[in-house]
Structure 1
Amino acid sequence: MAFAPRYEIVVKKIKEMIRTGELLQGEKLPSEIEMAKRLNVSRATLREAFRILEDEGVINRYHGIGTFIAKSPIIKSGMEELISITKLIEKQGMKPGTKDIEVSLTQPGEREATILNLLPNEKIYRIERVRTADGEPVLFCIDRIPEKYVHKNFEFKEESLFKYLHKDLGIYISYAVSDIIPVKAQAADVYKKLKMKSKSNVALLLEQLHYDDKDNPIFYSSNYFSPEKFRFYIVRKRI
């Protein structure tokens, strides 16, 4: 009869302690020495169990701070559905908000111009903002819209960019092409904007090029999500 490795037993034990409420979401765990004694295992076994639990998103380890039981993400979304962040937050029963908004008319970088298929000297509106759910920062986004699509007096007052484009400019976003990239949270000071515990943490960058129903590239966005607050999933069907 085969026996499970000791670290797998520890993994199951910690998950059971979370399930029963013995360990709570967001709780800081005791030191490795104390935790190893509590579970009656070696520190090497505990470290291997912690490695697995961290990979599974059950715990978060912060260098110089400690190990914490991960909080369940407050917002979940399927990747196959294109929906505005505003509506996504509302679907979770929370109030969407925006803070630290900055709008500028600027010359695009070479990559931005290529992605948006712009001619030389065409400018873009660049919109930076932090999106909140019930006042909690959950997303830092950078949107770029070619000046040619925008009215002369650009006043973005809506929570939803999709709604602004449709309501004020008559542009309906039909689909988007997306890249999902894990990045260090220190990029663009994401860890500060999203109140993450450390700049060495990883954020999820969703880069998207949005098209209208005539296949025109309308706006390009870079959205930085805190994995502590957002969880994406995809439904895969066998073919």
Structure 2
Amino acid sequence: MLIDAIKVFVNDTHPMEKRSIIRHQAIVEQILEILSERIKDRSYPPNSKLPSENSLSEEFKVSRVTIRRAMDILVSRGNIYRMQGVGSFVSSIAQIANPIVNPILFQDLIRSQGYQPGIQFIHAQEIPLTTHLAEILKINLDEEIVELQKVFTADGEPVIFCSNILPKWLLKESLFQNVIRQPSITEPIFDFLTNQCGEGLAFYISTIRLDTMGNCPIKMKDFLPSMPALVIDEVGYNNQERPIMLSVHFYPGNRMKFELIRRRTIL
């Protein structure tokens, strides 16, 4: 029976608040939004089995086809996975959507999608300055640089492998040594650049490429060398368009997805 709004009732298993499905909006999109919220707030915990299509169809008063379409989208996003003849389950770490156009702190990105962010600092040390790095950072070959290696985690699972290279002129002498002794002072990185270095990040110039985890400078046993990875190499500039940081980010193919808005230019 067609009605203007279909109520979503709380059941005994999942203490979820009531939601309404409004008919002038796309039903599949509304179902998708509700299920995504339940995954995000852990009403459906990681590795838990989702209600059957029949059960969800009865709950939302929609067809199984509509439920299946919403579930297909969740599978494509990496939020859930299917086991033939058993059912659908919530992924332990769903793919994290990264809006690639806008720079965002990794901690905020991870937290915004319902995970507890964490950082593992691998090392902070002075590294040799090559001609290539000097050209990128626009510094002389006799200057010094420091590399920070860290891994960002979501609920303890590694999702982003990060290398930041900073020139010594940016850090000054005392700050340079403090960073090497205590790399945690560099996070959040945007705040560190602005408040500690006095050089706010104005923009990035980024290059995106495909690689494998075997070429990632940070090694972890859970990631096979042959695992595909998306790599973003980017140079951060201050307001005077001077390079202040080189970053290399490895994103394992099963942990992250990227969203990009592409607009058609009409002449």
- State the TM-score, normalizing by the size of structure 1: 0.67
SS at 1:99 equivalent: strand
Counterpart residue number, 2:170? 149
1:195: which partner in 2? Answer: 222
Is 1:171–2:199 an aligned residue pair? Answer: yes
1:221 maps to: 247
* Bigger Rg over Cα: 2
What is the alpha-carbon root mean square deviation over aligned residues?
Answer: 3.0
Consecutive unaligned residues of structure 1, counting only runs of 5 or more, are 1-14, 30-37, 39-69
1:39-188 → structure 2 map (5 Å cutoff): 73-153=94-174, 154-155=178-179, 156-158=183-185, 159-188=187-216
The share of aligned pairs that are identical, in percent, is 23
1:61 is aligned to none
Shift of residue 203 of structure 1? 0.6
In 2, the alpha carbon distance for the partners of 1:95 and 1:139 equals 14
Counterpart contact for 2:96–2:255, Cα < 8 Å: yes
Q: Does the Cα contact within 8 Å between 1:94 and 1:134 map onto a contact in 2?
A: yes
Equivalent residue of 1:193, what SS? coil
Amino acid in structure 2 at the alignment position of 1:131: F
Deviation at 1:215, TM superposition (A): 0.8
Cα distance in 2 for partners of 1:232, 1:113 equals: 30
Task: Name the CA distance, whole Å, in 2 between partners of 1:168 and 1:95.
Answer: 26
Q: Once the 2 structures are TM-superposed, how far is the Cα of residue 194 of structure 1 from its aligned partner?
A: 7.8
Tell me how far apart the structure 1 counterparts of residues 171 and 128 of structure 2 sit (CA, whole Å).
15
How many aligned residue pairs are there? 183
Which stretch of structure 1 is more off in the superposition, 171-180 or 84-93? 84-93
Structure with greater contact order relative to length (CA < 8 Å, sep ≥ 6): 1
Q: Residues 173, 84 of structure 1: CA spacing in aligned structure 2 closer, same or farther, 3 A cutoff? A: same
Q: Which runs of 5+ in 2 are unaligned?
A: 1-67, 86-90
Match of 1:205 in 2: 231
**Does the 8 Å contact 1:75/1:229 carry over to 2?**
yes
